[in-house]
Amino acid sequence: MMFHYDIKIEGKVQNVGFRFYAQKKAHELEITGYVKNMKDGSVFIEAEGEEINLNQYVNWCHKGPPWATVTDVKVNKSPVMNYRGFLIK
C-alpha cells in the first residue's frame, strides 16, 4: 500500500548536499516525490512509497548527509499524488 509523507527538515540542511543525498536515498528505497530548499532555511520533501520504506527514509532524514546538522523533522501524512521518479527542485 502506498503512502505519502510531507517532511520538513530544519537545522543546517542547506548548502550541505542534503537534496542530492535525499534523492539518492529515495532511489535506494524506491521512494518517489521531490525535495526542495525553502526560503526559511529548511528542506521540504514530498515522499511516496511503501510505509516501511518511508519510515526508513524519515529515519535517514533525522541524520541527513555527514555535513548536515538536523535539529527537527516534522512528518505529516497526505493524499497520494502518484509521483513518478524523485526530483530535486
Give residues with Cβ within 8 angstroms of 27, minimum separation 6.
Answer: 86
Give the residue numbers annotated as catalytic, written as ranges: 19, 37
Give residues with Cβ within 8 angstroms of 8, minimum separation 6.
Answer: 38, 42, 43, 44, 45, 72, 73, 74
Angle in degrees, 0-180, between the axes of helices 51-61 and 18-28, rounded to the nearest 10: 160
